[in-house]
Amino acid sequence: MTEAAAKPSNWNAPNAITVVRIFFAPAFLWLMLADAGQGGSERWWAGGLFIVGIATDGVDGYLARRNNQVTELGKLLDPIADKVLTLGALIGLSVLGELPWWVAIVIAVREVGITVYRFAVIRGGVIPASRGGKAKTLLQAIAISAALLPFTQTLGSGVTFWPDLVLMGLALLLTVLSGLDYAWNAARLARSHGSGPDA
């Protein structure tokens, strides 16, 4: 069997799931803005869509590995889907005044910067997500899910303020630290090998 014949097709179920995840972002963002911070059914649906979208990150990866359908396109689209979902939620929260804009901007700069770098070195192969990057994504998902679900409107800000603040603060810290670590390793490996690290 030739190498070309053994190479999995980009047209597979895991990649289709990833693309669907990307389209979840405009859907839940529209629901968030339609709710306008009232904590109604639209906000619950928005939170639910985000959670489903971010949780299926593990589903497409598992299916790709189990069925030997891991592709370069999939490795590129998967982190993009995470970033679209994450940044869509952060922008929505900032527009509604529930999250300071500077928090969304700091996270966006890190995420967009890493994505741009991935495209810059794509000829040398797509850089897969590292453990630090995956941990950052998980913590962001938890913090954003807690902020999206309208617990503040139902339980009161006195109950949810500190948990939300701690979760988002930790997510922000890990985002910055993992970004700095990525940039450091990218520069080091670029000087020595002309390629980037896992991110």
pLDDT in tens, the chain (199 residues): 444 456 777 788 888 888 999 999 999 999 999 999 898 999 999 999 999 998 887 788 778 888 787 787 777 788 788 889 999 999 999 999 999 999 999 999 998 888 787 677 656 555 555 677 778 888 999 999 999 998 876 776 666 778 889 999 999 999 999 888 877 877 776 676 654 444 4
Token pair listed for 81: 């889907």
- How remote is the C-alpha of 35 from its chain's centroid? 23
Concatenating the DSSP letter of every residue in 27-55 gives HHHHHHHHHTTS-SHHHHHHHHHHHHHHH
- Classify 127 as helix, strand or coil: coil
pTM of the shown model: 0.80
Residue 159 placed within a domain: yes
- Classify 119 as helix, strand or coil: helix
Half-sphere exposure at residue 146, Cβ-oriented, CA atoms within 13 angstroms: 18
Residue 197 placed within a domain: no
Token pair listed for 41: 């059914």
Residue at 149: amino acid letter: L
Residue 199 placed within a domain: no
Residue 23 placed within a domain: yes
Residue 21 placed within a domain: yes
Place of tokens 């390793």: 185
Give the model's pLDDT for residue 172.
95
State the total domains in the chain. 1
Give the model's pLDDT for residue 130.
62
Token pair listed for 178: 């993992």
Q: What is the DSSP letter of 126?
A: P
Give the model's pLDDT for residue 64.
80
Give the model's pLDDT for residue 32.
95
Residue 198 placed within a domain: no
Range of the domain at 169: 3-192
- Classify 156 as helix, strand or coil: coil
Structural contact between residues 91 and 34, judged by C-beta atoms closer than 8 angstroms? no
> Who contacts 188 (Cβ-Cβ below 8 Å, separation ≥6)?
197
Place of tokens 């929260």: 93
Q: What is the CATH number of the domain that holds 146?
A: 1.20.120.1760
Half-sphere exposure at residue 26, Cβ-oriented, CA atoms within 13 angstroms: 4
Residue 107 placed within a domain: yes
Give the model's pLDDT for residue 51.
94
Residue 124 placed within a domain: yes
